[in-house]
Chains A and B, each alone.
Chain A
Amino acid sequence: MARLFALLFLLFAVSGVAPASDSAQTEQVQLKLLAEREAAIPGRTLWLGLRFELIPHWHVYWRNPGDSGEAPRIDWQLPDGWRPGNIHWPTPQRIEVGPLVSYGYEDSVTLLVPISVPPDQASGERVDIATDVSWLVCREECIPQNARLQISLPVAQGSDRPAPRNDFDAVRARWPVALPGHAAYLREDGKLTMRIEASGWHDKQPASIWLAPNDWGPVAPSQPQTWRFDKDVLVLSLPEGDAPLAEGASVDGLLVVNDATSGSTHGFTLSAMPFDTGSAPAGEPQVTLFLALGFAALGGLLLNLMPCVLPVLSIKVMSLVQHAGNRSAAHGLVFGAGVLTSLLALAALLIALRAGGTSLGWGFQLQEPWVVVALLYLMLAIGLNLSGVYSVGSGLAGVGQGLTESEGLRGTFFTGVLAVIVASPCTAPFMGTALGFALTRPPPETLLVFAALAVGFSLPMMLLGFWPRWVSLLPAPGPWMERLRNALAFPLYATAAWLLWVLSQQVGPSGLAGALTGALLLAFGLWWLGQPLRPRALRNVLAGALICASLALMVSAGAGAPARPEPFEHQSWSRERVSELQREGRAVLVNFTAAWCITCKVNEKVALSTDAVRQALDDRGIAYLKGDWTNRDSAISEELRRHGRGGVPLYLLYPPGQGSPEVLPQLLTEGLVLQALSRIEKI
Chain B
Amino acid sequence: MLTRIAITTLLLALTTCADAALKIGDPAPEFTGIDTGGNKVTLSDFRGKPVILEWSNHDCPYVRKHYNSGNMQKQQQAATGRGAVWLSIISSAPGKQGNVTPARADALTAERKAAPSAVILDESGDIGRLYGAKTTPHMFIIDAEGKLAYMGGIDSIPSTNPADIEKATQYVPAALDQVMKGEPVTASVTRPYGCSVKY
Which residues of B183-199 have CB atoms within 8 Å of chain A's CB atoms?
Answer: 189, 191, 193-199
Inter-chain contacts of B16 with A (CB < 8 A):
223-224
Inter-chain contacts of B199 with A (CB < 8 A):
98-100
> Which residue of chain B is the closest to A1 with respect to CB atoms?
B104
Measured CB to CB, the closest approach of chain A to B152, in angstroms, equals 7
The answer to whether A140 and B21 touch (CB under 8 A), given A98-B199, A242-B152, is no
Inter-chain contacts of B152 with A (CB < 8 A):
242
Partner of B196, one of A4, A68, A243: A68
Interface size class on chain B is 20 to 34
Cα-based distance from A244 to B24 in the complex (angstroms): 10
Cα-based distance from A144 to B161 in the complex (angstroms): 9
B158 at the interface (CB under 8 A from A): yes
- B77-109 vs A, Cβ < 8 Å mask (1 yes, 0 no): 000000000000000000011000000000000
Cα-based distance from A484 to B73 in the complex (angstroms): 103
The answer to whether A142 and B195 touch (CB under 8 A), given A222-B134, A242-B189, is yes
Inter-chain contacts of B12 with A (CB < 8 A):
224
Inter-chain contacts of A190 with B (CB < 8 A):
21
Contact B197 A70 (CB under 8 A): no
B139 at the interface (CB under 8 A from A): no
Contact A141 B189 (CB under 8 A): no
Inter-chain contacts of A217 with B (CB < 8 A):
191
A106 at the interface (CB under 8 A from B): no
Measured CB to CB, the closest approach of chain A to B96, in angstroms, equals 7
Cα-based distance from A242 to B12 in the complex (angstroms): 19
Cα-based distance from A368 to B194 in the complex (angstroms): 63
Contact A240 B60 (CB under 8 A): no
> Which residue of chain A is the closest to B96 with respect to CB atoms?
A140
Which residues of A277-329 have CB atoms within 8 Å of chain B's CB atoms?
Answer: none
B19 at the interface (CB under 8 A from A): yes
A67 at the interface (CB under 8 A from B): yes
> Which residue of chain B is the closest to A144 with respect to CB atoms?
B160
Contact B194 A68 (CB under 8 A): yes
A500 at the interface (CB under 8 A from B): no
A69 at the interface (CB under 8 A from B): yes
Which residues of B51-71 have CB atoms within 8 Å of chain A's CB atoms?
Answer: 59-61
Which residues of A188-208 have CB atoms within 8 Å of chain B's CB atoms?
Answer: 190
Inter-chain contacts of A70 with B (CB < 8 A):
158-160, 193
A97 at the interface (CB under 8 A from B): yes
Contact A142 B60 (CB under 8 A): yes
Cα-based distance from A67 to B197 in the complex (angstroms): 10
Inter-chain contacts of B195 with A (CB < 8 A):
68, 138, 141-142
The answer to whether A100 and B160 touch (CB under 8 A), given A68-B194, A140-B198, A242-B151, is no
A143 at the interface (CB under 8 A from B): yes
Measured CB to CB, the closest approach of chain B to A379, in angstroms, equals 62
Cα-based distance from A336 to B199 in the complex (angstroms): 81
Which residues of A131-175 have CB atoms within 8 Å of chain B's CB atoms?
Answer: 134, 136, 138, 140-144
Inter-chain contacts of A528 with B (CB < 8 A):
none
Inter-chain contacts of B160 with A (CB < 8 A):
70, 136, 144
Cα-based distance from A242 to B135 in the complex (angstroms): 14
Which residues of A58-108 have CB atoms within 8 Å of chain B's CB atoms?
Answer: 67-70, 73, 97-100, 102
Inter-chain contacts of B191 with A (CB < 8 A):
216-217, 243
Contact A68 B193 (CB under 8 A): yes
B129 at the interface (CB under 8 A from A): yes
Contact B189 A99 (CB under 8 A): no
Which residues of A466-493 have CB atoms within 8 Å of chain B's CB atoms?
Answer: none
Cα-based distance from A244 to B188 in the complex (angstroms): 11
Contact B61 A98 (CB under 8 A): no
B15 at the interface (CB under 8 A from A): yes
Inter-chain contacts of B158 with A (CB < 8 A):
70
A525 at the interface (CB under 8 A from B): no
Inter-chain contacts of A67 with B (CB < 8 A):
134-135, 196
Contact B189 A220 (CB under 8 A): no
Measured CB to CB, the closest approach of chain B to A61, in angstroms, equals 11
- B116-136 vs A, Cβ < 8 Å mask (1 yes, 0 no): 000000000000010000110
- A420-454 vs B, Cβ < 8 Å mask (1 yes, 0 no): 00000000000000000000000000000000000
Inter-chain contacts of B189 with A (CB < 8 A):
242-244
Cα-based distance from A244 to B25 in the complex (angstroms): 13
Cα-based distance from A586 to B196 in the complex (angstroms): 39
Inter-chain contacts of A545 with B (CB < 8 A):
none
- A640-656 vs B, Cβ < 8 Å mask (1 yes, 0 no): 00000000000000000
Measured CB to CB, the closest approach of chain B to A58, in angstroms, equals 14
Inter-chain contacts of A136 with B (CB < 8 A):
160
Looking at B12, B129, B161, B195, the one whose CB has the most chain A CB atoms below 10 A away is B195
> Which residue of chain B is the closest to A64 with respect to CB atoms?
B191
Measured CB to CB, the closest approach of chain B to A313, in angstroms, equals 67
> Which residue of chain B is the closest to A240 with respect to CB atoms?
B21
Measured CB to CB, the closest approach of chain B to A111, in angstroms, equals 18
Cα-based distance from A70 to B60 in the complex (angstroms): 13
Partner of A143, one of B19, B61, B159, B161: B61
Partner of B15, one of A4, A99, A140, A240: A99
Cα-based distance from A237 to B196 in the complex (angstroms): 25
Looking at A102, A138, A242, A243, the one whose CB has the most chain B CB atoms below 10 A away is A242
Contact B135 A223 (CB under 8 A): no
A8 at the interface (CB under 8 A from B): yes
- A229-249 vs B, Cβ < 8 Å mask (1 yes, 0 no): 000000000011011100000
Measured CB to CB, the closest approach of chain B to A147, in angstroms, equals 15
- B148-184 vs A, Cβ < 8 Å mask (1 yes, 0 no): 0001100000111100000000000000000000000
Contact A99 B60 (CB under 8 A): no
> Which residue of chain A is the closest to B93 with respect to CB atoms?
A98
Could you list 17 further interchain pairs (A-B, Cβ under 8 angstroms) beyond the known A142-B60, A222-B19, A243-B191? Answer: A8-B59, A69-B196, A70-B193, A73-B159, A98-B197, A100-B199, A102-B196, A138-B195, A140-B96, A140-B97, A140-B196, A142-B196, A216-B191, A222-B134, A223-B21, A240-B21, A242-B151
Closest 3 CB pairs of A and B: A68-B196, A144-B160, A224-B12
Pairs A–B under 8 Å by Cβ, sample size 29:
A4-B59, A67-B135, A68-B135, A68-B196, A68-B197, A70-B159, A70-B160, A70-B193, A97-B196, A98-B196, A98-B197, A98-B198, A100-B196, A136-B160, A138-B195, A140-B97, A140-B196, A140-B198, A142-B60, A216-B191, A222-B134, A223-B16, A223-B21, A224-B12, A240-B21, A242-B21, A242-B189, A243-B191, A244-B189
A contact residues vs B (CB 8 Å cutoff)? 4, 8, 67-70, 73, 97-100, 102, 134, 136, 138, 140-144, 190, 216-217, 220, 222-224, 239-240, 242-244
